[in-house]
Amino acid sequence: MMKNILRDITYGMYVVTSKNSGCIINTLTQVSSNNLVTISLNKDNYTNKVIKENKKFIASIISEKTNPNIISTFGFRSSKDIDKFENFDYNIIDGTKVLNENMIGYIECEVINVIDADTHDIFIAKILSTKKENDYTPMTYTYYHEVIKGTSPIKAPTYIEDTEEVYVCDVCGYVHKGPLSDDFVCPICGVDKSHFKKKEG
């Protein structure tokens, strides 16, 4: 299958949070005009487990002005290992941390059904409330790839396996494909080439 055409499917970029956990997703979809949305979460993601227990989540809409460090922290590390909110501004809404970092706003949801989808679960949820905070431009998945030069980790549904040389930043987890030049710096956290380890296999 020619997977690259799947890159032409358009998505937005979101941080989905529940209690003290959160991760980046691109799979938020409005199902219908009757206030239902779906999100797709990898079964190994800690946020999946927390949302199943809490039955609620908040999806914040990332804007083009949102700090890219939010994506490296929430998209490449696990809430099981670190406090992802530590270096960011956030509010707490009904026990859930919600980032306050140039987001467009957020959608508060209650889970009404979970559907098994192989490696992922699809959560169907009812919108409880919404808040629009800024008129910035929402970040699209294409913008993330083409302007921020970001990649997707293996747990993202849109992950595409690659045969190129792959290097991973040992500070933020950013993944670079192809050879590294001597003056290469991480586009996400700014460290130099010495922090990039070649990914084997």
Ligand X SMILES: Cc1cc2nc3c(=O)[nH]c(=O)nc-3n(C[C@H](O)[C@H](O)[C@H](O)COP(=O)(O)O)c2cc1C
Shortest spacing between CB 121 and ligand X, in angstroms: 9
C-alpha dist (Å) from residue 16 to 41, 163, 170 = 10, 31, 24
- Give me the residue whose beta carbon is nearest to ligand X: 75
Rounded distance between C-alpha atoms, residue 37 and residue 130, angstroms: 12
Q: Which residues bind ligand X (CB under 6 A)?
A: 21, 23-27, 40-42, 45-47, 71, 75-80, 144, 152-153, 155-157
Please state the closest distance from residue 156 (CB atom) to ligand X, in A. Answer: 4
Query: At closest approach, how far in Å is the CB of 26 from ligand X?
Result: 4
Q: For ligand X, which is the closer residue by CB, 95 or 135? A: 95
What are the structure tokens assigned to 174, written together?
A: 């950013």
Burial of 68 (0-12, 13-18, 19+ CB in 10 A): buried
Considering the complex, state which of residue 30 and residue 182 has its C-beta at the smaller distance from ligand X: 30
Residue 18 beta carbon to ligand X: minimum distance, rounded to whole angstroms: 9
Where do the DSSP E strands lie in 54-192? 56-62, 90-93, 96-99, 103-117, 120-132, 166-169, 175-177
The tokens of 163 are what?
């045969």
Question: Residue 157 or residue 187: which is nearer to ligand X going by CB?
Answer: 157
Nearer to ligand X, 30 or 194 (CB): 30
